[in-house]
Amino acid sequence: MESRSDTGACFCGAVAAEMQGDPFWICFDHDDDCRRAIGSPLTIWVGYRPDQFRFTRGKPRSFSRTKGVVRTFCEKCGTSITYRDEGLSDELYVTIGFFDHPERFKPHAHAYWRLRLPWLEFADDLPRIDTYSRRRDPAFGNPNDR
Ligand SMILES: [Zn+2]
């Protein structure tokens, strides 16, 4: 069987990327940092090992506000692209909005459930986790404690 391959691009098309193989984790994220960074009531992060991901066109800008966390975005159109976190080594997250076929990525859980907007309702039976849904190295602290 051929290995899965997915592609994505920003809104203006200046930045594109290719992802090889299956993501290891797909998660709703209700965290308020990501809400503001992305400009959306919530996002869905698609998690890969860094060597599964490569840019095929253009190069994004990066931004860090939280220790150990680097976000990338298209400098022309502002589309959010990736999230790297030194506390989550060997993990790279891609925003679902960046994908050419976001319908292929069904989430496995809700992260930061306690921070969700109160009028959002979900009928799924996915796990609802009040913190990061991945084990994060405590040496980097909790971004919410800043
Ligand atoms: Zn763009």
Count structural domains, the chain: 1
Per-residue model confidence (pLDDT) at position 86:
86
For residue 91, being part of any structural domain is answered with: yes
How many angstroms separate the alpha carbon of residue 88 from the centre of ligand 1?
A: 27
CATH of the domain at 50: 2.170.150.70
Alpha-carbon distances, residue 35 vs 41, 44, 89, 97 (angstroms) = 6, 11, 22, 13
Mapped onto helix, strand or coil, the DSSP state of residue 92 is strand
Per-residue model confidence (pLDDT) at position 146:
42
How many angstroms separate the alpha carbon of residue 15 from the centre of ligand 1?
A: 6
Nearest residue to 4 (alpha-carbon basis) of 83, 90, 105, 95: 105
For residue 145, being part of any structural domain is answered with: no
Per-residue model confidence (pLDDT) at position 131:
75
How many angstroms separate the alpha carbon of residue 70 from the centre of ligand 1?
A: 18
Residue 33 phi, psi dihedral angles, 5° rounding: -65, -50
How many angstroms separate the alpha carbon of residue 80 from the centre of ligand 1?
A: 9
Per-residue pLDDT in tens (0 to 9) along the chain, 146 residues: 678 999 999 999 999 999 999 999 999 999 999 999 999 999 999 999 999 999 999 999 999 998 889 999 999 999 999 999 888 889 999 999 999 999 999 999 999 999 999 999 999 999 998 877 766 666 666 655 54
Question: The domain containing residue 44 runs over which residues?
Answer: 5-140
Per-residue model confidence (pLDDT) at position 72:
97
